[in-house]
Amino acid sequence: MGVVINPFIVSGRIPEDYFCDRVEESAQLEKSLTNQLNVVLTSSRRMGKTSLVDFVFNKPAISDEYITIFVDILQTTTFREFIFSLGTAVFDAVASRSEKWRKQFVTFMKSLSGSFGYDPIQNTPTFDVRLGDIQLPEYTLREIFQYLESVDKRCLVVIDEFQQITRYPEKNVEEILRTHIQKLSNANFVFSGSRRRLMEEMFFSAKRPFYQSAKPLRLEAINQDVYFDFAQSHFQQAGKDISKEAFTYVYETFWGVTLYVQRLMKDAYIDTLPGTTCDIDMVKRLTDNYIRENDSHLREQLSFVTEAQKELLYAIHAEGQVQSITSSAFNRKHRLRSPSSTQSAALKLLEYDLITRKEKTYSLSDPLMDLWLSRR
């Protein structure tokens, strides 16, 4: 008996049969990249940016003709760490493909020449570079890009959570990257980010180096009816069913956020026996279980914020959406300390991605956090 695949995949690459919708978005991304355009890809977190990129990169028009490189910089805090992450990703995705490209990489990376290891069995260099080995970050960056120019196959580079570079202590990172990237003729970039406001400032403000350097592509929630049809069809293929009411509850409870909807559908698919229907009682129980499962993680998130920041977070949660967080009425209603203290707390909560701001309206960023607070 073969392995039974749960069609609601929440990690790793998603095969086409289990990939829900994103028809227009994937077509736009593929068209842009195959026509040598850089793309700035934005959405809230957990909406499926990485899955979309993986899906498009797995298409023959991309996978057969390009080398794809993925760099996640969310955990980086300095320009040196960025260079280290980029260099590691380029070595793994490009240099490791052949002995020729490995030796070519070492030749170009003169600033790190003393840091490479050597595999005596394969007779090839190995990437044993440590963060402390990068003494001249901008010079090393130039070498990495020069190497990409030398490769005899076009490269596509995804930099995930690109807004992170605005938090580095170095003040000229945007200028440095833009200067080098605009000179490349053998590579295009996907700048992916989950902090919409920061990403829009970086790419659509005339005062910033990356102004109008990439085509915008915004991921919104998958259409609810399309998502229900997708979910129900996979239930029915297994001799099961799911009610529209049950799916609507999950979709609306989790604000249509792809990761959460997928996870609840995955759990519902497991618990629904052949010949039966997943109803609203089942998904409510599974939602409660999921909140309890994440209790310690959510508590840990709040352990890093101050009392004043918690007070504001709870106030925004109570309101749902707030337009004037510094207004006297809002501060009095929720017994906040002062408008200036509220403003400072909001800046930190935005930085921690616990709240979001859209067109001057503040709300919680994460539906799971919102649910968890509601049940406390």
Q: Kindly list the averaged pLDDT for each block of 10 residues, start to end, along the chain of length 376.
A: 84 92 96 97 93 95 96 95 94 86 85 66 67 83 94 96 95 94 96 91 95 95 98 98 98 98 98 98 98 96 94 96 92 92 94 88 96 93
Q: Which position has the token pair 């180096």?
A: 209
361-364 vs 124-126, strand pairing mode: unpaired
Q: How is 79-96 classified by DSSP, letter by letter?
A: HHHHHHHHHHHHHHHTGG
What is the reported pLDDT for 134? 80
Please choose, from the candidates 369, 364, 254, the residue with its C-alpha nearest in 3D space to the C-alpha of residue 316.
364
What is the reported pLDDT for 272? 98
Asked whether the CA dihedral 315, 316, 317, 322 is positive or negative, the reply is positive
Distance CA 163, CA 230 (A): 33
What is the reported pLDDT for 144? 94
Please choose, from the candidates 247, 243, 240, the residue with its C-alpha nearest in 3D space to the C-alpha of residue 224.
247
What is the reported pLDDT for 118? 64
* pLDDT tens figures, 34-48: 999 999 999 988 999
Please choose, from the candidates 118, 89, 121, 122, the residue with its C-alpha nearest in 3D space to the C-alpha of residue 106.
118
Distance CA 364, CA 137 (A): 37
